[in-house]
Amino acid sequence: MQTGKITKYTPFQQIDLPDRQWPSRTITHAPIWASVDLRDGNQALATPMNVDEKLEMFELLVGIGFKEIEVGFPSASDTEFNFIRRLVDENRIPEDVTLQVLVQAREHLIRRTFESLQGVSKAIVHLYNSTSPVQRRITFNKSKEEIKAIAIEGTRLVKSLIQTIPDTKIRFQYSPESFSDTEVDYALEVCEAVMAEWQPTERDKIILNLPATVEVATPNVHADQIEWFCRHLKERNKAYISLHTHNDRGTGVAATELGLLAGADRVEGTLFGNGERTGNLDIVTVALNLYTQGVDPLLDFSQLEHIRSVYERITRMTVHDRHPYAGDLVFTAFSGSHQDAIKKGMDLRSVTDTDGIRWEVPYLAIDPEDIGRDYEAIIRINSQSGKGGVAYILERDFGLELPKAMHPDVGLTINSRADQGSRELSPQEVHEVFMQKYVNLSAPLELLSIEREDFAKTGEVKVEAEICIEGETMLVAGTGNGPISAFVNALQIKGWKDFKLLDYRQHSIGGGSKTKAAAYIQIKNDDGTVSFGCGINANIELAGLHALVSAFNRAHPKPSK
């Protein structure tokens, strides 16, 4: 790489548009969507789809709601040609879906393309030729006039061949390939020449597709190109302006969104951005971005995991773990502060009638349920996790509603275990550590059995408990206003009470005959430290007593007899 003054690369020329309007606009409705998975996406695969795989992908795209689907480059290979014929012969094309076919502006390829469309009720013929200075000079060695003539002659041939398939409604799309790297005034000149040849009307518009075949500038420059083109195009009312962004700079989505603000009507792209080099526009991301802004995308991604699984199987591509909306980790929080905030947001929604209420959960731009995902992987636990995440896992997966004061202590314990192994802990492992460190602890003090006696006159309770402490079994007795306070009194009589009972909570786990009680006790020791314990038992009183013993054991690993 060069350093200092870079001479190998130069900035892309800015567009002269001082009164640009797109920065102050808002996207208020979905564009016309066109999937190019079966053509642009397919040609970018190391192992292209066979006909059966293309059929399955076509059905998937139809199910999502695409009404315009570029099914291939029928003049390029027999597989492409035969796929279209199978769609026709097996009557697989829904009435509201229009097939799109791509063809270079070359006579024999155009004629072969029309052969493939026999029997199709409606189709878009997508004609293209390269217009950029680099392509004109290096690839074709032709002048601007010669390049424009290719586009006009190709358009004329397409128009003449419509009569060969009179039962097919043909719409026309033209792309000045590498529009992103073409002088905007020249791109306009070529497109207007094509329009003059085609003679579109307001009712039967031409599609002018302006592809960012290679991203060469920042998204704002792309938006300026689109707005400049829309504002200068004669008979703008007779054309749909279509976008087809690639992702060479990693800003394909942004360029598309700004292009829509700049006046475009239509978007071409693929599922998860599959395409040449760094990929095409990811339609999933743009559509769901609209959805999170309150705009109906008119595409159904409510079963996104299913869509992803079909896509990965057919294309043999893998959706990245951090891919927007679809990645395995996009609804996962490792950071403790994130986990805590997510838990609070989810807790608030769980106790509120949220029907029609705005989605507001920290760190989650979209409700995972809306796209067929669940909360199972929202929070995962490693050494970076916090108190809220651990508490969320224990409550969500195991029904344990830890008191808030207990969260930091449990979080530290779980994180220490994760840190020791330098890895993430599964929810089951989190539960196992909690049970091992806090629940029904039996050393050094173990509660073997207990009997209670109630005194109606005084309201006092007397307990007599059989315990084992450091291997020695004995009986202890005490009184109080309940079994827990009575047992505390028994410990005091033995000289073992050097703590104050701060808090007691309990709740049920499960339902029916298998219901258990979970109890939590917080004690403050004479040295100022705080200890927590949990007890789980079918009997609520025993659960509370086990919680007290567990807290005692955590505070007194070796108590004096």
Per the annotation, where are the binding residues for Mg(2+)?
Answer: 40, 244, 246, 280
Q: Which DSSP letter does residue 292 get?
A: T
Does residue 18 have a cis bond before it (omega within 30 degrees)? no
DSSP 497-538: --EEEEEEEEEEES-GGG-EEEEEEEEEETTS-EEEEEEEES
Cα–Cα distance, 38 to 387 (Å, whole number): 47
Q: Residue 339 is encoded by which pair of tokens?
A: 């986990």
Q: What percent of the chain is helix, strand and coil (3-state, nearest 5)?
A: 40, 20, 35
Q: Which single residue is written with the structure tokens 């031409």?
A: 206
Contact 549, 535 (CB under 8 A): yes
Binding residue numbers: 40, 244, 246, 280
Nearest in space to 334 (alpha carbons), one of 385, 377, 393: 385
Give the span between the Cα atoms of 556 and 188, in whole angstroms.
Answer: 83
Buried (b) or exposed (e) across 179-201, using 16+ Cβ within 10 A?
Answer: bbbbebebbbbbbbbbbebbebe
> Which is it for the CA torsion 30, 93, 118, 48, positive or negative?
positive
Q: How far apart are CA 102 and CA 126, in angstroms?
A: 5
Cβ(439)–Cβ(536) below 8 Å? yes
Side chain identity at residue 338, one-letter code: H
Phi, psi of 23 (to 5 degrees): -65, -25
Distance, CA of 545 to CA of 534 (rounded, Å): 9
Backbone conformation region of residue 106, classed left if phi is above 0, alpha if psi is from -120 to 50, else beta: beta
Helix (H) or strand (E) holding 129: strand 122-130
Check if the beta carbon of residue 233 is closer than 8 Å to that of residue 191. yes
Alpha helices in 381-508 (DSSP H): 387-398, 407-421, 427-438, 483-493
Residues 154 and 106 sit within 8 Å (Cβ to Cβ): yes
Task: Give the contacts of 432 (CB within 8 A, at least 6 positions apart).
Answer: none
At 238, list the tokens.
């007779």
Do β-strands 530-537 and 516-525 pair in parallel, antiparallel, or remain unpaired? Answer: antiparallel
User: 448 is written with which tokens?
Assistant: 């073997």
Sorted by sequence, the CB contacts under 8 Å of residue 431 that are 6+ apart come out as: 393, 394, 397, 398
* Sequence-ordered list of residues with C-beta below 8 angstroms from that of 357, at least 6 positions apart, any chain: none
